[in-house]
Amino acid sequence: MNYPNGNKKKATHASSSNNQKQSFSNRGMRLEDDINQTNAYYLAKDIAVIHKKPTPVQIVNVDYPKRSAAVIKEAYFKQASTTDYNGIYKGHYIDFEAKETKNKHSFPLNNFHDHQIEHLKSVDDHGGIGFIVVRFNQLDRTFYLPAMKLFSCWERQYKDGGRKSIPLHVFENEGIEVPVGYPAIVDYISVIDQLFFK
Annotated binding site: 82, 84, 97, 116
d(CA 87, CA 138): 30
d(CA 169, CA 65): 55
Our CA dihedral for 79, 154, 84, 60, rounded to 10 degrees, sits at 20
Which helix (H) or strand (E) segment holds residue 185: the answer is none
Q: Give the phi and the psi of residue 118 in degrees, each rounded to 5.
A: -60, -40
Binding-site residues for Mg(2+), please?
Answer: 82, 84, 97, 116
CB 142 within 8 A of CB 97: no
d(CA 126, CA 163): 29
DSSP 115-152: HHHHHHHHHHHTT-EEEEEEEETTTTEEEEEEHHHHHH
